[in-house]
């Protein structure tokens, strides 16, 4: 069911309920009003009859006097007067005049409103010896007609008011639906990757807040898309650069060394050759090649990570940077419990630490860098926490470099959080936490 159909059905149900309750209350009030009005008119008529006949009670009434008394109460409403003649037949004598154009209420309304009404009998003796019996009954039909007219007026006023409210609600609702449709269109554009088109401001504050958040989301997704594209290009450039370096090193080191070994192996066959000297040269070249291969393998992947664990590999990384840059003080605070994490998580921790030290050496102009890597939340939500701080020049960056973006990408892919803080003169602070993945058996 659509939102419009749902709201219209709720309004219809509410209208029906209001009309039913209002109808019941209207009928009850009309019944009370008719009963009160008819009783009041009937009592007034009885008082007039009693007063008129009491004055003439000492002497028998002539027919003229009797008719005059009856005519005195003609103007009283809600009465039905009849006379019982000498034959005992009840003859209608006087009924209130009714307007022929007056609308007669429907029978269901009459039955709902009417109740038991009083009547009175009077015995009248005339001067000529005849006797008359006067019967006075309450006649509520004209009062019921008035109540019916008032009920109709009330009903149509309620219907008119509800109709106006319904139209006003639908006009507002149509405006809201147009806004919702435009927001849905905006969300579809975001879904399809069209981040440049923004939603306009809206008059309704809540919708304007939603549109503003969607625009912020579009901006964030646009920046993330651009960063991912730039990071992907940078990653491919790094891959190509590493392949070129690897190819050059293989050509320069491996190719030349193998050529030299081949030449020495040919020369050793010649008579009078110093075999000892040539064999020492071959051994020296092999040792050099072994060092080159270890350096290349270490650059591609730290083998000690799987053999010695994360702590030893980080220590080796720090010692290597200390050897290459003795002027930089590198402090490592490591929690040995992290040696039990999975290889996947360990390589991310290692690469983040490696990137951070590289950035400090290249850009920070710092004298001290501290790496704190520990485990937190041992019983609930265990996580590895990394805090890397330096005392370099800092400064608010105009944008994250590829190294920082690569670190952030690593952390977020592991379901963690990454925070980069930099302040001029106070260095750079990087805070990372990632959920711990335990090392599986035979990993």
In a domain, 184, yes or no: no
In a domain, 264, yes or no: no
In a domain, 285, yes or no: no
In a domain, 272, yes or no: no
Into how many domains does the chain fold? Answer: 2
In a domain, 292, yes or no: no
Assign residue 306 the CATH number of its domain.
Answer: 3.30.565.10
Q: Choose one of 167, 193, 215: the last residue of a domain.
A: 167
The model's pLDDT over 63-121, given as tens digits with 9 standing for 90+, comes to: 566 666 666 565 566 667 777 766 667 766 555 555 555 667 888 888 888 777 777 77
Q: Choose one of 167, 184, 210: the last residue of a domain.
A: 167
- Please give the chain's pLDDT, 443 residues, in tens: 677 778 878 888 888 888 888 888 888 888 888 888 878 877 777 777 676 666 555 556 665 666 666 665 655 666 677 777 666 677 665 555 555 556 678 888 888 887 777 777 777 666 666 667 777 777 777 778 888 888 888 888 888 888 888 888 888 888 888 888 888 888 888 888 888 888 888 888 888 898 899 889 888 888 888 877 777 777 777 677 777 777 777 777 777 788 888 888 887 777 777 778 888 888 888 888 887 777 777 666 666 676 778 888 899 889 988 988 999 999 999 998 888 888 888 889 998 998 899 889 888 888 999 999 999 887 778 899 999 999 888 876 655 677 788 888 889 888 899 999 888 888 899 999 999 877 665 55
Write the CA distances from 317 to 75, 331, 352, 355, 381, integer angstroms. 118, 12, 12, 11, 29
CB 184 within 8 A of CB 67: no
Q: Looking at the structure, do residues 159 and 306 belong to the same domain, yes or no?
A: no
Q: Six-digit token pair at 414?
A: 């592991």
CA-CA-CA-CA dihedral for 158, 162, 168, 169, to nearest 10: 150
427 phi and psi angles, rounded to 5 deg: 80, -165
Q: What share of the chain is helix, strand, coil (3-state, %, to 5)?
A: 60, 15, 25
What span, in angstroms and rounded, lies between the C-alpha atoms of 113 and 32? 8
The model's pLDDT over 309-321, given as tens digits with 9 standing for 90+, comes to: 888 889 988 998 8
Please name which of 179, 198, 180 lies closest in space to residue 189, comparing C-alpha atoms: 198
In a domain, 216, yes or no: no
Strands 329-334 and 368-376: parallel
What span, in angstroms and rounded, lies between the C-alpha atoms of 150 and 144? 10
What span, in angstroms and rounded, lies between the C-alpha atoms of 6 and 12? 10
57 phi and psi angles, rounded to 5 deg: -75, -20
Q: Choose one of 150, 167, 184: the last residue of a domain.
A: 167
What span, in angstroms and rounded, lies between the C-alpha atoms of 223 and 217? 10
| Residue range of the domain that includes 37 | 3-97+105-167
In a domain, 315, yes or no: yes
Strands 131-138 and 329-334: unpaired
In a domain, 252, yes or no: no
Rg (CA), the chain: 53
Q: Six-digit token pair at 208?
A: 């304007």
User: Residue 120 CB: number of other CB atoms within 10 A?
Assistant: 15
Edge-first strand listing for the sheet containing 427-435: 329-334, 368-376, 383-390, 427-435, 417-423
């Amino acid at each position: 069911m659509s939102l419009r159909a749902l709201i219209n059905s709720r309004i219809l149900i509410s209208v029906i309920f209001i009309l039913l309750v209002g109808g019941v209350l209207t009928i009850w009030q009309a019944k009370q009003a008719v009963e009160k009005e008819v009783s009041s008119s009937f009592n007034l008529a009885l008082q007039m009859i009693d007063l008129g006949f009491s004055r003439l009670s000492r002497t028998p009434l002539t027919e003229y006097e009797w008719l005059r008394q009856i005519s005195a109460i003609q103007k009283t409403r809600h009465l039905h007067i009849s006379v019982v003649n000498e034959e005992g037949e009840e003859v209608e004598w006087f009924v209130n005049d009714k307007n022929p154009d007056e609308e007669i209420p429907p029978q269901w309304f009459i039955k709902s409103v009417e109740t038991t009404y009083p009547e009175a009998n009077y015995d009248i003796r005339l001067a000529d010896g005849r006797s008359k019996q006067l019967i006075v009954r309450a006649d509520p039909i004209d009062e019921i007609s008035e109540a019916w007219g008032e009920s109709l007026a009330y009903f149509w006023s309620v219907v008119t008011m509800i109709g106006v409210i319904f139209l006003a609600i639908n006009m507002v609702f149509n405006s809201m639906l147009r806004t919702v449709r435009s927001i849905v269109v905006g969300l579809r554009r975001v879904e399809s990757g069209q981040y440049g088109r923004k939603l306009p401001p809206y008059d309704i504050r809540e919708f304007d807040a939603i549109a503003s958040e969607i625009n912020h989301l579009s901006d964030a997704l646009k920046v993330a898309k651009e960063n991912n594209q730039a990071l992907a290009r940078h990653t491919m450039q790094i891959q190509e650069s590493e392949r070129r370096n690897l190819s050059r090193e293989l050509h320069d080191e491996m190719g030349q060394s193998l050529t030299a070994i081949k030449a020495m192996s040919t020369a050793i066959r010649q008579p009078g050759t110093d075999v000892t000297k040539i064999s020492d040269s071959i051994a020296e070249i092999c040792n050099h090649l072994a060092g080159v291969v270890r350096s290349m393998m270490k650059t591609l992947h730290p083998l000690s990570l799987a053999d010695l664990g994360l702590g030893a590999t980080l220590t080796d990384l720090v010692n290597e940077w200390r050897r290459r840059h003795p002027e930089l003080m590198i402090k490592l605070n490591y929690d040995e419990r992290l040696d039990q994490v999975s290889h996947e998580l360990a390589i991310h921790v290692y690469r983040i630490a490696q990137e951070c030290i590289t950035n400090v050496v290249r850009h920070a102009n710092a004298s001290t860098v501290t790496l704190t890597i520990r485990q937190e939340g041992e019983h609930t939500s265990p996580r590895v926490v990394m805090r890397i701080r330096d005392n370099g020049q800092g400064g608010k960056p105009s944008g994250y470099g590829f190294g920082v973006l690569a670190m952030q990408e690593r952390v977020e892919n592991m379901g963690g959080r990454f925070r980069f803080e930099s302040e001029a003169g106070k260095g750079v602070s990087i805070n990372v936490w990632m959920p711990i993945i335990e090392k599986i058996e035979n990993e």
